[in-house]
Structure 1
Amino acid sequence: MFGWMHAGSVGQLADVGPGRFTGQKFVEELGDVLLPSVEALFFQQGEPFYLVQDNSPIYTCHAVREWFGRHPYITLLPHPPRSPDLNPIEHVWSAMNKYNIPSAGRHLIRECPHPCLGGMGAATRS
């Protein structure tokens, strides 16, 4: 699962499919999920966008750094090493894992019409 949230709203939730989540998959989600929903929410309002992510190698690999280099209007906030607990969405992922919700999350994406869950029909990726 890939998702993001904001203090005033929730972002899109997407199923990244089976297998290990890699830096390349993260780059795909940045372009396919994060960027369109962030642009719709923030750029229409003229607000800057700041992103908090931990220092996992997935988020700091060369491909990801290159992607953010091509999108300088997204500011990455510094984050201490090995501190995922400082990123609020990590608590969501932890609860999902604790209660074995990833498969339920995939079901929600397919069945729930709420736009924060990835939209339905053509907007939902399988």
Structure 2
Amino acid sequence: MTPPTTRTWSRRGRTPVVRVRGRSRRRLSVAALACYKPGESSRLIYRPCPDARPDGRKSFSWKDYRDLIQAAHQQLGGPIVLVWDNLNTHLAAGMRRYIADRDWLTVYQLPPYAPDLNPVEGIWSVVRRTTAANRAFADPHDLITAVRQGLRRLQYRHDVLDGCLTGTGLAPAPP
């Protein structure tokens, strides 16, 4: 809920000020997959998860990631090679069993502390610099709406998705 700041402009001698009513510990977790298939446009598949959940959990569980991977498999219609970071939820025993039981799913772990190899980190950077920059959110619903709109816009910006994938070296440069 704390707004990220970016560059802006104003008249010379007048510093722009973004007023924030108060700090909040509310947050929004979002899981995303940047997908690449040779000969097709890049795709972005995502799921938001507000911190006010019925079970009291404030972040994604391994079952939430399982459901995202299953949805991606249905949308993409083929085998998936998943490259992800070492988040503890990705390494949970239930997730390891799920991966082992799926012949269409191959998983590679990124080395620890390697955000430059994760294309989704580039997507979060774009969202922070565009959709969320210089904006004070009134409530969690406003934040969720803004992030969804920003990610939805990115889904149609295949050039940006290609840039995030190519920047990691995980996908060849587009022709």
Give the TM-score taking structure 1 as reference length: 0.63
Q: Cα RMSD (Å) of the superposition? A: 2.9
Q: 1:4 aligns with which of 24, 29, 33?
A: 33
The farther-off stretch of 48-57 and 69-78 is 69-78
Superposed, 1:71-82 pairs within 5 Å as: 71-82=102-113
Superposed, 1:36-51 pairs within 5 Å as: 36-43=71-78, 48-51=79-82
Structure 1 residues 58 and 84, CA gap change in structure 2 (3 angstroms): farther
Shift of 1:51: 0.4
Superposed, 1:49-60 pairs within 5 Å as: 49-60=80-91
Q: Is the 8 A contact 2:32 2:44 kept in 1?
A: yes
Name 1:105's counterpart in structure 2.
147
Shift of 1:12: 2.3
Alpha-carbon distance in structure 2 between the residues aligned to 1:60 and 1:5? 20
Name 1:21's counterpart in structure 2.
59
Structure 1 residues 28 and 80, CA gap change in structure 2 (3 angstroms): same
Shift of 1:89: 0.9
Q: Which structure: larger Rg? A: 2
Greater per-residue helix proportion? 1
Query: Deviation per CA, 1:82-112, whole angstroms, max 9, x where unpaired?
Result: 2132011112123434563753123x29xx6
Percentage identity across paired residues of the two chains: 20
Q: Is the 8 A contact 2:86 2:109 kept in 1?
A: no
Q: Is the 8 A contact 1:11 1:37 kept in 2?
A: no
Residue segments in structure 1 that go unaligned for 5+ positions in a row = 118-126
Residue segments in structure 2 that go unaligned for 5+ positions in a row = 1-29, 53-57, 134-142, 157-175
Alpha-carbon distance in structure 2 between the residues aligned to 1:5 and 1:54? 13
Shift of 1:58: 2.2
Give the TM-score taking structure 2 as reference length: 0.48
